[in-house]
Structure 1
Amino acid sequence: MFQLHPRLAADTLPLGRLDLCEARLMNDCRFPWVILVPRREGITELHQLGKADQAQLLAESARVAAQLQSLGVEKINLGALGNLVPQLHWHLVGRRRDDPCWPGPAWGCGKSRPWNDADARTLLLRLRRGLGLGEERP
């Protein structure tokens, strides 16, 4: 049975469930940053997913990237590091030239700043609507 890694659960806010992935908002207001976690037990690498799931992950990544782009970001950084959290998960990070880490990577740059409740609710609602997930928490 699929279980979200505890570190991912602690570092993110629930966005919703796509067909394959659990979508989570990184709790760092410096960036609009979504993490996709395929709901498949024991998967640590992309090649371990079946071909259909690989295609679905790419499709869901494109949907999320389009929503991040609608927020006015200039670039979407995509990464799957997995060094601290072995469970397969993809980061989609919206970047702007004026963000505190530009042009370097968001990972390991400075100290994260948690979202305040109102801003988190506003962004989650906008992303949920754009992704067709409705307005309620998953």
Structure 2
Amino acid sequence: MSFGLATRRAASVYAEVGVETGVSTADPHKLILMLFEGALLQIGTAGIAMDNKDIPTKGTATSKAIEIITNGLKVSLDYEAGGELAERLGALYDYMTQRLLYANLNNSRPALDEVARLLNELKGAWEEIGTYDQANR
């Protein structure tokens, strides 16, 4: 799958879950950042709902976060160009999805926090790539 097709698919998923607007005009780098932000927003919402014992909101937010990770971030990986790094990121996204499912089923705040920490680390690295790329143009 080409990166362009993957990013269009990721944009479609992002728009479907209604996390943010402006997806259609975002460049590929910005789109990935928006996906990270959207997933983190949904995890934050799930955490608040969990704390408030709001089961429907927790479930909806967790489902949206999983959707963004699996059908946004993961599908945007280019396994041909990315090789082992893309494979490892894909496996990490699968792990995050499993942890979110666990968090939802078991009301586990530590599992939610773990996924949020991992996403924040990846988001920070992605931001650095963008900063480096713009500085070297």
TM-score bracket, normalised by the shorter chain, equals 0.3 to 0.5
Give the TM-score normalised by the residue count of structure 2.
0.33
Choose 1 or 2 for highest CA Rg.
2
Report the structure, 1 or 2, having the larger strand content.
Answer: 1
